[in-house]
Structure 1
Amino acid sequence: MKIQGKMFAGFALFILVMAVIYGLWSKEPAGTTALVLAFCLCTMIGFYLAFTARRADNGAQDRDDADVADDAGELGFFSPHSWQPLALGVGGSMAFLGIIFGWWLLFFSLPVILVGVYGWVFEYYRGEDRTQ
């Protein structure tokens, strides 16, 4: 994570320099604001990665003597049969179409989004643990 934090910090510095140059050269506020916001986002992500890297153990990407195989293994659990991302995608698409065609479409997209979020959060919930 240390490498990624340094990469985002360098990218944030580059964006800041470009924002200053763009702002002075073009005198256009929308693009300058977008670049400043991109700088803030990269700074936030870089700070988070550097902050987390100090508390987590070193990964294979942080060691100079590591091989590619050192990072192999289980990365976590990913649901193989979940339909909830599809519901969230359809609901999000309907919400963005509501911005284009009319705000009334948001009333139809909000229940789809809420069902998708509820289903994703409680997908593997089986009740209280009653092993006593």
Structure 2
Amino acid sequence: MKIQGKMFIWLAVFILAMAIVYGVWSKEPAGTTALFLSFGLSIMIGFYLGFTARRVDTGAQDNKEADVADDAGEVGFFSPHSWQPLSLAIGGALAFLAIAVGWWLLYFSFPLLLIGLWGWVFEYYRGENRTQ
């Protein structure tokens, strides 16, 4: 994670330089604001990765003499069958469509978003704080 943290910090420095140049040259507030927000996001991600790299063991990606096989193994748990992202995608699409068509469409998108979010968060909970 140390390498990725440094990459995001360098990306943030580059984005900051481009934001200043773009802001001075174009005097356009929307693009300048977007670039400064991108700078902030890159700094946050870089700081998080650097902070986390100090707290966890060194991974294979931080070892210059590591083989590809050193990073093999289980990555994590991923749900093999979940309908919740479909509900969130349809609800999100309707919410963004409401901006163009009419705000009344939000009445149909919010229930889908809430059902999808609730279902995804509590998908593997059964009983009292027990996972399946």
Runs of 4+ in 1 over 2 A off after TM superposition: none
Query: How far off is 1:129 after superposition?
Result: 6.7
Residue aligning to 1:108: 108
Residue aligning to 1:67: 67
Question: Counterparts in 2 of 1:34-113, with a 5 A limit?
Answer: 34-113=34-113
Unpaired segments of 5 or more residues in structure 2?
none
What is the CA RMSD across the aligned residues, in angstroms?
A: 1.3
- Deviations 1:36-64 (CA, angstroms, capped at 9, x unpaired): 11111111111111111111111110111
Secondary structure of the equivalent of 2:126?
coil
Which amino acid in 2 is paired with 1:63?
A: N
TM-score between the two structures when normalised by the length of structure 2:
0.93
Query: How far off is 1:10 after superposition?
Result: 0.3
Query: How far off is 1:71 after superposition?
Result: 0.9
Are residue 27 (structure 1) and residue 20 (structure 2) matched?
A: no
Aligned residues: 130
* Percent identity for Structure 1 against Structure 2: 72
Secondary structure of the equivalent of 1:43?
helix
